[in-house]
């Protein structure tokens, strides 16, 4: 079986790094921005953002027709710079936060078997765009 290519998405954020980091990692904030559109939500968030810490984001449609748990463990956490994690499925991801202004967040991750790579890229990009809108408001 050939390994699927990594997916990379980015977003530029015009906000102080301290605000970006706080909003990225605080469960109450994550619940407000972690969605792809107004039909989605993340009603449950547990986040222990440190090396060895675990996370759980319960995501889904507000009408209850679709939901899933996004779960894993942090491998590396360097405040204001880098987060690397492994999902419970074994797939890995890294998130980098550039220094400077604007802050550029780059997320690179191994895709799952489904849905398509394009759909996974679009889903992740929509979440980053939602984060940008939340932080910059």
Summarised one tens digit per residue, pLDDT across range 51-105 is 999 999 999 999 999 999 999 999 999 999 999 999 999 999 999 999 999 999 9
What mean pLDDT value characterizes the chain? Answer: 96
Global confidence as pTM: 0.94
* pLDDT (0 to 100) of residue 58: 97
List of residues 6+ apart from 128 with CB closer than 8 A: 9, 10, 11, 105, 107
Q: Is the pLDDT of residue 2 over 90?
A: no
Q: Is the pLDDT of residue 1 over 50?
A: no
Q: Is the pLDDT of residue 109 over 70?
A: yes
**What class is the 7-136 domain?**
alpha beta
Question: Residue 111: which pLDDT band, with cuts at 50, 70 and 90?
Answer: very high
The Cα 121–Cα 9 span in angstroms is 7
* pLDDT (0 to 100) of residue 4: 78
* Percent residues over pLDDT 70 in the chain: 99
CB neighbour burial string for 106-123, b if at least 16 within 10 angstroms, e if fewer: ebbbbbeeeeeeeebeee
Helix (H, G, I), strand (E, B) or coil at 123: helix
Q: What angle do CA 47, 119, 125 make, to 5 degrees?
A: 50
Helix (H, G, I), strand (E, B) or coil at 17: helix
* pLDDT (0 to 100) of residue 3: 72
Evaluate whether 84 touches 74 at the Cβ level (below 8 Å).
yes
Maximum alpha-carbon separation in the chain:
45
- What do you get for the CA distance between the two ends of the chain, in Å? 45
């Amino acid at each position: 079986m050939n390994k699927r290519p990594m997916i990379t998405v980015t977003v530029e954020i015009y906000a102080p790094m301290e605000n970006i980091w706080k909003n990225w990692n605080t469960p109450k904030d994550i619940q407000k921005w972690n969605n792809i559109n107004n039909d989605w939500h993340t009603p449950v968030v547990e986040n222990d953002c440190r090396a060895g810490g675990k996370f759980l984001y319960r995501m889904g449609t507000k009408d209850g027709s679709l939901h899933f748990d996004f779960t894993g463990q942090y491998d590396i956490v360097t405040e204001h710079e880098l987060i690397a994690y492994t999902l419970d499925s074994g797939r890995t991801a890294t998130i980098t936060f550039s220094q400077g202004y604007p802050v550029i967040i780059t997320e690179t991750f191994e895709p799952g078997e489904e849905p398509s790579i394009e759909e996974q890229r679009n889903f992740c990009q929509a979440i980053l765009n939602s984060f940008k809108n939340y932080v910059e408001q």
